[in-house]
Amino acid sequence: MLTGAVRMSDSGHTRRRALGAGGVLVGLVTLGGCGLFGDDPEPAPAPDPLQPVLDEALALASAYDRVILTQQTLSARLTPLAQAHRAHATELAKVIGTTLPSGSAAPSAPGTADDTVAGLRKAELAAQKTAVAACKTAAAGRAALVGSIAAARATHAEALR
Amino acid sequence: MNEQLAGALAAEEAAIWAYGLIGVHLREGAEQDQAHAAEDVHRVRRDDLVVRLGTLKASTPPVPAGYELPFPVEDRASALKLAVQIEDGVAQAWRVVLPVTEGAQRVDALSALTDSAVRATKWRKLAQITPLTLTFPGRPTT
C-alpha cells in the first residue's frame, strides 16, 4: 500500500497540494484504496501463455529460410518444415487473438553460427520442450493444437536426422 | 474421458494387429527390428489403457470382429504405407485425449501422440514418401 501511495504521488500531485501538508499521506492512501486514481496507467496485460510458442514458430521459420538461402540444395527438404512453422504461427495467432508480422517483410533475426541443419535440429528439440510445457497447462480448448505443434517439432527433428 | 481412452485403446489394438502383417514384408534386420520395437511400444500402451479403463470402471470396449485392410499388403511398399497409416491413426486417437486430461496424464497422452508421429516419419523416410512430416500430426486430414 505504501509503495502504491508513493508511486501514485506523481499523478496525485495537484490533489496533494489541494489537500495541504497535514493530511497528505492519509488522503493518498484513502484515495488510492478507493481506486479514484483512474489516470494511473493500467498494468500491461500478462502475455498469452502461448506467445512463446508462437515466437519460436516464427523464429524457426526464419532460421529455415536462412539455411535454405545459403544451401539451395536443401530447399526441397527444408521448405515443408518452414511452411509448417508458418502454419503453426497462423493458428496460434488466431487463438491468441493477435496478428502476425506481415509475410516476408517480417524482420528476420540476424543469422547465427547455428544456421546449419544440426543447429535447426537442436532448435526444434528445444522448441518441442516449450510446446510440451505449454500444452501441459493449456486450457482444454487449446490443448490439441499445442499438442500437435509439439509433436510436429519432434517429427521435424526426426526428419533432419 | 472414457470414450477418448477407449478410442486410443482401439487404435493401439489395431496397431498391434497391423504390425503382425507389416513385419513379414520388411527387410530383415533394421527394418524388422523397427517394426518389432513399434509393436512392443503399442503393446505397453494397450496394457496401460486396459488398466486405466479398468480403474475407471469403464465398460470393456467392444472388440471388433475383424480388421479390414485399407489396401492389400503384399510387399514392402504396401507394408510401409500401412505402417505410416497406422501410426497416423494412433496419433489421431491420442490427440483427442489431450483436451479431456490434465497435467501428467495429458503429458503422457502427448508423448503417445508424439511417439506415433515420429514413427510415422521414420516409416516415410524408409518408404521415401515426401514430405516426411505432417503439418499438424494427429489432426484428422479429411
Domain assignment of residue A77, yes or no: yes
In this structure, the answer to whether residues A22 and A94 fall within a common structural domain is no
CA distance A143 to B138: 12
pLDDT of residue A39: 63
pLDDT of residue B25: 98
Shortest CA gap B65–chain A (Å): 31
Domain assignment of residue A129, yes or no: yes
Query: Could B121 and A158 be called an inter-chain contact, meaning their C-beta atoms sit closer than 8 Å?
Result: yes
Total domains in chain A come to 2
Query: Could B131 and A151 be called an inter-chain contact, meaning their C-beta atoms sit closer than 8 Å?
Result: no
Chain A CB contacts of B121 under 8 Å are 155, 158-159
pLDDT of residue A159: 98
Shortest CA gap A161–chain B (Å): 10
Chain A CB contacts of B88 under 8 Å are none
In this structure, the answer to whether residues A79 and A140 fall within a common structural domain is yes
To 10 degrees, what angle do helices B76-95 and B2-23 make?
A: 170
pLDDT of residue B68: 87
pLDDT of residue A110: 62
pLDDT of residue B42: 98
Cα distances from B13 to residues A48, A84, B8, B22, B73, in angstroms, run 39, 30, 9, 14, 18
For chain B, say whether A117 makes contact (Cβ under 8 Å). Answer: no
pLDDT of residue B56: 77
Chain B CB contacts of A87 under 8 Å are 135-136
Full domain range(s) for residue A28: 2-34
Q: Which residues of A55-91 are buried (b: 16+ CB within 10 A; e: fewer)?
A: ebbbbbbbbbbbbbeeeeeeeebbebbbebbbbbbeb
Q: Which residue's C-alpha cell is 510387399?
A: B75
For chain B, say whether A53 makes contact (Cβ under 8 Å). Answer: no
In this structure, the answer to whether residues A104 and A151 fall within a common structural domain is yes
Q: Which residue's C-alpha cell is 490427440?
A: B95
Domain assignment of residue A105, yes or no: yes
Domain assignment of residue A39, yes or no: no
In this structure, the answer to whether residues A115 and A89 fall within a common structural domain is yes
Q: What is the pLDDT along chain A (161 residues), one digit of tens a residue?
A: 344 444 444 444 444 444 444 444 444 444 444 445 556 677 788 899 999 999 999 999 999 999 999 999 999 999 999 999 999 999 999 999 999 987 544 445 666 667 899 999 999 999 999 999 999 999 999 999 999 999 999 999 999 99
Torsion on CA atoms A74, A76, A81, A83, rounded to nearest 10? 120
Side chain identity at B115, as an amino acid letter? D
In this structure, the answer to whether residues A25 and A55 fall within a common structural domain is no
pTM of the model: 0.82
pLDDT of residue A115: 87
pLDDT of residue B50: 93
CATH code for the part of the protein at B2-127: 1.20.1260.10
Closest by Cβ to B99, choosing from A87, A140, A150: A140
pLDDT of residue A3: 42
Query: Could A159 and B107 be called an inter-chain contact, meaning their C-beta atoms sit closer than 8 Å?
Result: no
In this structure, the answer to whether residues A75 and A103 fall within a common structural domain is yes
How many CA atoms within 13 Å lie on the side-chain side of A74?
18
In this structure, the answer to whether residues A73 and A132 fall within a common structural domain is yes
In this structure, the answer to whether residues A16 and A91 fall within a common structural domain is no
3-state secondary structure (DSSP) of residue A8: helix
For chain B, say whether A149 makes contact (Cβ under 8 Å). Answer: yes
CA distance A127 to B41: 25
Confidence of residue B24 (pLDDT cuts 50, 70, 90): very high
How many CA atoms within 13 Å lie on the side-chain side of A49?
13
Domain assignment of residue A42, yes or no: no
In this structure, the answer to whether residues A71 and A148 fall within a common structural domain is yes
- φ, ψ dihedrals at B132, nearest 5°: -75, -15
Q: What is the mean pLDDT of residues B106-122?
A: 98
Q: What is the mean pLDDT of residues B60-68?
A: 65
Q: Where are the domains of chain B?
A: 2-127
Count other C-beta atoms under 10 Å from residue A14's C-beta.
8
Of A107-121, B21-35, B67-81, give the lowest mean pLDDT range: A107-121
For chain B, say whether A81 makes contact (Cβ under 8 Å). Answer: yes
Query: Could A155 and B139 be called an inter-chain contact, meaning their C-beta atoms sit closer than 8 Å?
Result: no
Closest by Cβ to B118, choosing from A76, A144, A155: A155
**Which one of B84, B124, B133, B134 would you mutate to disrupt binding with A, by most A Cβ within 10 Å of its Cβ?**
B133
Chain A CB contacts of B107 under 8 Å are 132, 135-136
DSSP category for residue B136: S
Domain assignment of residue A40, yes or no: no
pLDDT of residue A10: 44
Record the cell numbers describing residue A29, joined without a space.
492512501
Domain assignment of residue A91, yes or no: yes
In this structure, the answer to whether residues A18 and A92 fall within a common structural domain is no
User: Minimal CA–CA distance to A135: which of B115, B1, B114?
Assistant: B114
pLDDT of residue A25: 46
Chain B residue closest to A139 (CA)?
B99
Record the cell numbers describing residue A61, joined without a space.
521459420
3-state secondary structure (DSSP) of residue B75: coil
Shortest CA gap B97–chain A (Å): 8
Chain B residue closest to A142 (CA)?
B99
Domain assignment of residue A44, yes or no: no
CA distance A18 to A9: 13
For chain B, say whether A60 makes contact (Cβ under 8 Å). Answer: no
